[in-house]
Amino acid sequence: MPTCVIYCPMPPNLDEVDALLRSGKHVITPVGWIYPYKQDPHSTDVISAACREGGVNFHPSGCNPGGIAERFPLTFTGWCNRIDRVSTLECGDCRAYSSPGVMMEIMCFGKTPEEAQNNPFKGFLSAGFFQSIDMVCRGIGLRCAELPIHPRIQPGQPAN
């Protein structure tokens, strides 16, 4: 019987994670709940209670979110005497990304802006970004009352 589960579905399911933790299994996941305390207090409460009941740990981690988007800004701002503003822009060259299902269906590459706007994964994708911002703000001692973020969905240009 496993004592640790690597949990990687898309999208993640809170009821499944809750059941795994309560059954006494540690859970490691790269999807969801990287830093949910502000954006998703319900999930935070469920996961915390399940960990206590099961006597286990929950370890959400990943490259982005969960790593680069949080650790780099926290490291780099640690070198500063004064911080006036923190800005974030996410860019990536996805030409060699080897998961067309993720790129086309989840991230809506090749879709119209209207199709992307109605994407059921849009909230899930945004949540990771918002959690990253919350983690960085907390780490550098800023209080983010409201996030002034309004994702723009617009047609892109094909890469050469």
Confidence band for 154, pLDDT divided at 50, 70 and 90: low
User: Is 4 or 96 the better-scoring residue by pLDDT?
Assistant: 4
User: pLDDT > 70: what percent of the chain?
Assistant: 86
For 88-146, write each residue's pLDDT tens digit. 777 767 778 788 888 888 888 888 888 888 888 777 777 777 888 888 888 888 777 55
- CA-to-CA distance for 121 and 126, rounded, in angstroms? 9
**8 Å CB contact between 63 and 43:** no
Q: Give 130's Cβ-side CA count (13 Å radius).
A: 21
Mean pLDDT across the chain, nearest whole number?
A: 82
- The pLDDT assigned to 104 comes to 83
Whose tokens are 């892109």? That residue is 156
- The pLDDT assigned to 145 comes to 58
Taking the model in full, what pTM does it have?
Answer: 0.70
Confidence band for 151, pLDDT divided at 50, 70 and 90: low
**8 Å CB contact between 92 and 86:** no
- The pLDDT assigned to 114 comes to 85
